[in-house]
Each structure stands twice: as structure tokens, then as C-alpha cells.
């Protein structure tokens, strides 16, 4: 009787290019890129080109589907920065993108985001929704908040020198102790705004 000693073969892992990986996950290449940059997906950059393990992506999908996980990086993907569903994560994404050199963040909605203590000089939040956001102690020199919704936002002890808030809504916002040197403060609505202890010099109203 002839016996065979066959070994169970181990499936060979397939390496995917970005377009293939995106198709496998059912997402766009932009969403895939954002996910990798945020550390949500496993990938390796070889000679300037991303490569993905199909087995690794399958494991990721299994873990997400079996642990009620979500994929926040699939939602509201926009440009070079990642925006998820939660204010804290959105703010973190903006801060990381700013540190990487990005300055232009127009039309965002980051209600309640926390940026306390950050140096965000020159950042552009043109017409962004920043209701209830906190910028306490921030350096916001030459920052742009034109047309932004800053209702109930907090700017305590923030440096807004040369910043532009023209047309912004600052109702119930707190600017206590803020520095407003050469700031364009021609806001549209400011009822209830707190300006206690503000340092004002050459401000435009």
C-alpha cells in the first residue's frame, strides 16, 4: 500500500498595489491613503510605492466586522488631512496636518474641537464651523477665521495678533485675556462675547 506524506500547503500571501487594495476594500485610493497615514491599515512603502498584504487587509476586515468596529477614515475624507466623526479626532487630524505643513482648512465642521495650547499661526479656518471649539492659550498669529462660526468658542489667553475674524460669528465666545494686536475684529455677531482683560492694540472693528 503506497502512502503519501502530503503537507498542507500554506497559502501564498498576495501583495497588492494601492489600486488593487482600494478595490479589495471597496474604497477610493484617497480613502486608502488617508487610512494608511492614520495608522488604520497595514502597509509598507517600498521604493516610494505603497504595498499591501491581502492577508493583512483580510484580517483587518475580519477584526472590524467582528468587533463592531467602524472605519471613520472612510467618512468625510478631505484633502491631505483626515476628518472622522468625532470632534477630538477631527481636531487631532487638523493639528497633525498643520504640523506636516498644511495651513488651509476652509469650510470644516469641528464643533467642540480642542486645540488648547497649540501654535497654529497662519492657519486658515475660512468659513469653518467651530462652534464651541477651544483655543485656550493658542498662538493664532495671522490666523484666518473669516466668516467662521465661533459661537461659544473659547480663546482665553490666546494670541490673535494680526488675525482676521471679519464676518465671523462670536456670540457667547470667550476672549478673556486674549491678545488682539492689529486684529481684524469686524465680526458680524458678538452678543454675549466675553472680552475681560483683553490686550487691544490697533484693532479694526
pLDDT confidence tier of residue 155, bands split at 50, 70 and 90? very high
Percent of the chain with pLDDT over 70: 78
pLDDT confidence tier of residue 82, bands split at 50, 70 and 90? very low
Helix (H) or strand (E) holding 58: helix 54-66
pLDDT confidence tier of residue 49, bands split at 50, 70 and 90? confident
Whether the CA torsion 167, 171, 174, 175 is positive or negative: it is positive
Q: What is the pLDDT of residue 1?
A: 45
CATH tag, 84-204: 2.160.20.80
- CA dihedral 71→87→146→82, nearest 10 degrees, is -30
Q: Is the pLDDT of residue 79 over 70?
A: no
Rounded CA-CA distance 177/195 in Å is 7
**Are 7-83 and 84-204 equal in CATH topology?**
no
Average pLDDT across the chain, whole number: 80
Q: What is the pLDDT of residue 65?
A: 52
pLDDT digits (tens, 9 = 90+) for 105-150: 888 878 888 999 999 999 999 999 899 999 999 999 999 999 999 9
Q: How far is CA 147 from the centre of its chain?
A: 20
In angstroms, the Cα distances linking 80 to 22, 42, 64, 66, 181 are 17, 19, 24, 30, 32
Percent of the chain with pLDDT over 90: 40
1 burial via Cβ count (<10 Å: 0-12, 13-18, 19+): exposed
Helix (H) or strand (E) holding 87: helix 87-99
pLDDT digits (tens, 9 = 90+) for 175-196: 999 999 999 999 989 999 999 9
Among residues 118, 59, 68, the alpha carbon closest in space to that of 91 is found at 118
CATH 2.40.50 fits 7-83, yes or no: no
Overall average pLDDT of the 7-28 stretch: 73
Rounded CA-CA distance 142/149 in Å is 18
Helix (H) or strand (E) holding 52: strand 49-53
The residue ranges of every structural domain in the chain are: 7-83, 84-204
Residue 112: CA count within 13 A, CB half-sphere: 5
Amino acid at each position: 500500500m503506497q502512502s503519501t506524506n502530503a503537507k498542507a500547503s500554506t497559502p501564498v500571501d498576495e501583495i497588492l498595489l494601492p489600486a488593487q487594495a482600494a478595490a479589495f476594500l471597496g474604497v477610493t485610493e484617497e480613502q486608502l491613503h488617508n487610512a494608511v497615514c492614520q495608522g488604520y491599515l497595514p502597509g509598507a512603502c517600498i521604493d516610494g510605492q505603497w504595498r499591501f498584504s491581502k492577508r493583512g487587509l483580510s484580517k483587518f476586515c475580519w477584526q472590524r466586522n467582528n468587533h463592531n468596529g467602524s472605519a471613520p477614515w472612510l467618512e468625510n475624507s478631505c484633502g491631505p488631512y483626515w476628518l472622522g466623526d468625532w470632534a477630538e479626532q477631527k481636531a487631532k487630524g487638523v493639528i497633525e496636518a498643520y504640523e506636516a505643513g498644511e495651513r488651509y482648512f476652509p469650510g470644516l465642521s469641528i464643533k467642540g474641537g480642542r486645540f488648547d495650547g497649540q501654535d497654529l499661526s497662519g492657519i486658515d479656518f475660512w468659513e469653518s464651523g467651530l462652534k464651541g471649539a477651544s483655543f485656550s492659550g493658542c498662538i493664532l498669529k495671522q490666523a484666518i477665521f473669516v466668516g467662521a462660526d465661533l459661537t461659544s468658542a473659547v480663546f482665553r489667553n490666546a494670541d490673535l495678533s494680526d488675525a482676521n475674524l471679519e464676518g465671523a460669528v462670536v456670540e457667547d465666545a470667550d476672549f478673556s485675556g486674549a491678545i488682539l494686536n492689529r486684529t481684524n475684529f469686524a465680526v458680524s455677531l458678538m452678543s454675549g462675547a466675553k472680552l475681560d482683560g483683553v490686550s487691544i492694540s490697533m484693532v479694526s472693528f
